[in-house]
């Protein structure tokens, strides 16, 4: 039978040459890429070199028996599918082999019809396992990528914060000194009133200083490095409260041991993003933040008493280009944690992050 894409590769092992060749020829007829060996040792070598989708092995063989061969094969490729071939007298052993992880067994002499069915089912399972493996690898790669991206983003934020502080900040100080030196010359001696352009400039300078300080604090929370997560969250929440008028409380254990740098910045960023969402969407009055540690986990909860929403609907919003929740989840997962959103219309929203220590 001719096929464009072979339906899979199979290694057959049987110490009886007639039985092995008959099986191999039949499988080749079906379109499989089949290779036959008389001893387990040779099959192991072939497996190590080329791999295969499926191993069909006789159970009773001198030197290496079928079960030992299967175990060795699974060490080489944990997803290999093994089918045992057995004589009528050794069905009990075949059952044992199933317990050890064989996919199925067939009796000798093989019923070709049954064999054909068993093989196509086995190949289907192999394909599923392979694609699952592929998906797991892609997910792991994506997570690693998200982690690296977050790190790069932090470094960039740090750089911008430093630049703002060292360049813009210093220039503003110089500008302030110059403006202050103009106080005397630009003050009317008679009335004692400062030139309105100067007082306006001093006002603008003070506002700009405040803005820059806020931007720097948001970009790179210095408190985080110096005093830890709880203090940094408190400081951020104070600023957030002033900006939005929302009432925010932060609860946590003051003596909590420090987390890793990446865990701290991750949780900090999640709180920032969650609070931004509250300000943007929730129409809430109060937000409470809880940070709790046990021996094995860290728990962070951000709860608001706002409008709430249907999280399953917001899921589709991803396609509409909303990134906040997705980002928060990716951040949590990049450090091996989980993030869940509990919300219901009219019942507020809770964002819960759990990280294993
Ligand atoms: N605390 C909240 N209260 C009410 N609705 C919320 C809250 N948090 C999120 N939502 C809803 O979930 C949606 C998705 O949030 P997400 O942060 O992913 O996107 P966004 O805030 O709309 O946009 P982006 O974060 O990309 O600027 C929001 O559009 C909003 O409808
Ligand atoms: Mg958002």
Q: What is the pLDDT along the chain (357 residues), one digit of tens a residue?
A: 444 555 899 999 999 999 999 999 999 999 999 999 999 999 999 999 999 999 999 998 988 999 999 999 999 999 999 999 987 667 788 888 888 899 999 988 888 899 999 999 999 999 999 999 899 999 888 888 888 888 898 889 989 998 998 999 999 999 999 999 999 999 999 999 999 999 999 999 999 999 999 899 888 888 898 899 999 999 999 999 999 999 999 999 888 899 998 899 999 999 999 999 999 999 999 999 999 999 899 999 999 999 999 988 755 555 566 788 988 998 898 888 999 999 999 999 999 999 998
Ligand 2: centre distance to CA 351 (Å): 12
- Compute, in degrees rounded to 10, the torsion defined by CA atoms 305, 309, 310, 316: -140
Q: What residue numbers bound the domain in which 97 lies?
A: 9-110
87 close to 68: Cβ distance less than 8 angstroms: no
Where is the domain boundary, 110, 132, 153? Answer: 110
Where is the domain boundary, 77, 110, 143? Answer: 110
Beta strands in the chain (DSSP E): 9-13, 33-37, 54-58, 81-86, 104-107, 247-252, 286-293, 297-304, 338-343, 349-356
Q: Whose CA is nearest to atom 3 of ligand 1?
A: 282
d(CA 357, CA 352): 16
Nearest listed ligand to the Cα of residue 323: 1
The distance from CA 353 to its chain's CA centroid, rounded to whole angstroms, is 13
The answer as to whether 128 is a domain residue is no
**For residue 57, what is the domain's CATH number?**
3.40.50.2300
289 close to 295: Cβ distance less than 8 angstroms: no
110 close to 118: Cβ distance less than 8 angstroms: no
The answer as to whether 68 is a domain residue is yes
Q: How far is CA 203 from CA 181, 198, 211, 227, 291, in A?
A: 15, 9, 12, 32, 39
The answer as to whether 4 is a domain residue is no
Q: Whose CA is nearest to atom 25 of ligand 1?
A: 324
Q: Which of 327, 319, 336, 339 is nearest to 149 (CA)?
A: 327
Ligand 1: centre distance to CA 277 (Å): 5
What's the pTM?
Answer: 0.66
What residue has token string 């509409």? 320
d(CA 98, CA 292): 47
The answer as to whether 320 is a domain residue is yes
Ligand 1 atom with the shortest distance to the CA of 311: 12
How many residues appear in the chain? 357
Q: Which two tokens stand for residue 16?
A: 């009886």
Helix/strand/coil for 102:
coil
Q: Is the CB of 324 under 6 A from ligand 1?
A: yes
d(CA 211, CA 195): 25
The answer as to whether 353 is a domain residue is yes
What residue has token string 């049954």? 114
Q: Is the CB of 277 under 6 A from ligand 1?
A: yes
Mutate which of 269, 280, 321, 346 for ligand 1 pocket (most atoms within 8 A of beta carbon): 280
d(CA 289, CA 268): 11
The answer as to whether 39 is a domain residue is yes
Handedness of CA 186, 187, 190, 193 (dihedral sign): positive
Element (H, E) at 236: helix 229-244
Q: How many CB atoms lie within 10 A of CB 217?
A: 17
Number of domains in the chain: 2
The answer as to whether 347 is a domain residue is yes
Q: Which two tokens stand for residue 105?
A: 């067994």
Where is the domain boundary, 110, 140, 165? Answer: 110
Q: Whose CA is nearest to atom 1 of ligand 1?
A: 278
**For residue 292, what is the domain's CATH number?**
3.30.565.10
């Amino acid at each position: 039978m001719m096929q464009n894409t072979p339906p899979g590769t199979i290694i057959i092992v049987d110490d009886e040459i007639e039985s092995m060749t008959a099986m191999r020829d039949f499988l080749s007829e079906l379109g499989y890429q089949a290779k036959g060996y008389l001893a387990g040792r040779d099959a192991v070598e072939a497996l190590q070199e080329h791999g295969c989708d499926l191993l069909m092995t006789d159970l009773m063989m001198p030197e290496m028996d079928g079960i030992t061969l299967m175990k060795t094969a699974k060490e080489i490729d944990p997803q290999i599918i093994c089918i045992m071939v057995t004589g009528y007298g050794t069905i009990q052993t075949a059952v044992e082999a199933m317990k050890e992880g064989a996919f199925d067994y067939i009796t000798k002499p093989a019923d070709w019809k049954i064999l054909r069915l068993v093989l196509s089912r086995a190949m289907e399972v192999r394909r599923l396992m392979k694609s699952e493996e592929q998906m797991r690898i892609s997910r792991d790669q994506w997570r690693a990528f998200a982690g690296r991206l977050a790190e790069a983003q932090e470094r960039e934020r740090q750089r911008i914060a430093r630049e703002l502080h060292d360049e813009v900040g210093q220039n503003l100080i110089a500008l302030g000194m110059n403006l202050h030196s103009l106080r005397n010359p630009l003050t009317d001696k008679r009335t004692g009133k400062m030139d309105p352009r100067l007082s306006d400039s001093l006002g603008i300078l003070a506002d700009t200083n405040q803005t820059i300080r806020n931007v720097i604090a948001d970009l790179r929370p210095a408190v985080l490095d110096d005093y830890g997560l709880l203090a940094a969250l408190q400081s951020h929440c104070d600023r957030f409260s002033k900006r939005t008028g929302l009432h925010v409380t932060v609860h946590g254990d003051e003596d909590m041991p420090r987390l890793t740098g990446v865990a701290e910045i991750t949780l900090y960023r999640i709180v920032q993003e969650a609070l931004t969402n509250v300000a943007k969407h929730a129409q809430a009055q109060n937000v409470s933040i809880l940070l709790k540690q046990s021996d094995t986990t860290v728990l962070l909860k951000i709860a608001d008493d706002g409008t709430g929403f249907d999280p399953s609907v917001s899921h589709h919003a991803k396609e509409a280009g909303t990134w906040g929740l997705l980002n928060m989840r990716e951040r949590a997962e990049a450090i091996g944690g989980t993030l869940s959103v509990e919300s219901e219309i009219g019942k507020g929203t809770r964002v819960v992050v759990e990280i294993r220590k």
